[in-house]
A and B are shown apart, each in its own frame.
Chain A
Amino acid sequence: GAVVSQHPSWVICKSGTSVKIECRSLDFQATTMFWYRQFPKQSLMLMATSNEGSKATYEQGVEKDKFLINHASLTLSTLTVTSAHPEDSSFYICSARDTRLRTSGIRSYEQYFGPGTRLTVT
């Protein structure tokens, strides 16, 4: 299997506080994880690529000091929204890339998604 969990599933915080979201690959190791945000009735927007043991790669327009990413182990990446504001309210989704060799000998590079975290900043 390939299960990815996120914690918390939802969080409400006050403006100016920081919030940490965890993304875990439960039954496989993931050297690469991705963080997305999604506004209501819109598609996913890639925020950053999280690489185990190195700095994350942020997409254009995403503030790295605002959205801190740490990928300290092969099964855990965290996204910290610092000094959150109401405009940061969104649905945050992570995915983990599974690079295990298949029985075919080919790596699928398939991404498995977490269930998402609903952040509401008041």
Chain B
Amino acid sequence: SQQGEEDPQALSIQEGENATMNCSYKTSINNLQWYRQNSGRGLVHLILIRSNEREKHSGRLRVTLDTSKKSSSLLITASRAADTASYFCATVNAGNNRKLIWGLGTSLAVNP
């Protein structure tokens, strides 16, 4: 079942701009992960942030986690046309059998 929600559902920006996507979830989590999916392709794992972490960086990616608000954000800085893809957050619930619970995704279009 889906428990996460991402906003916006769709985002269109110009190359060089920053893109911010948000994800909210409903239950206590062990960790939260962000994935990218190019159209019709498989998933690429971007970054994992644990429940005791508040911020994490990886290259042009910055992820924040606010467990009090049950939300996370993914920031892509200096976006490129190649960043055009759908981005999904997924959570692993605390005490769960470690299934991934998926958000609905944000479709990002970076225009050259």
Contacts and interface: CB of A to CB of B under 8 A. Distances in A.
Q: Is the interface of B mostly helix, strand, loop or mixed?
A: loop
A46 B4 CA distance: 14
Contact of A49 (B40, B97, B102): B97
Contacts of A45: 2, 102
Nearest to A107: B98
Contacts, number: 46
B40 A111 contact: no
Given A43-B88, A97-B98, A109-B98, A116 B107 contact: no
Contacts of B45: 110, 112-113
A115 B41 CA distance: 6
A34 B99 contact: yes
A115 B42 contact: yes
Interface residues of A, number: 23
B104 interface: yes
Interface string B88-99: 100010000111
Contacts of B43: 44, 93, 113
B48 A110 contact: yes
Given A93-B42, A115-B42, A43 B98 contact: no
A44 to B, nearest CB: 5
Closest 9 A/B residue pairs (Cβ) = A115-B42, A113-B43, A43-B102, A116-B42, A44-B102, A43-B104, A109-B98, A43-B105, A113-B42
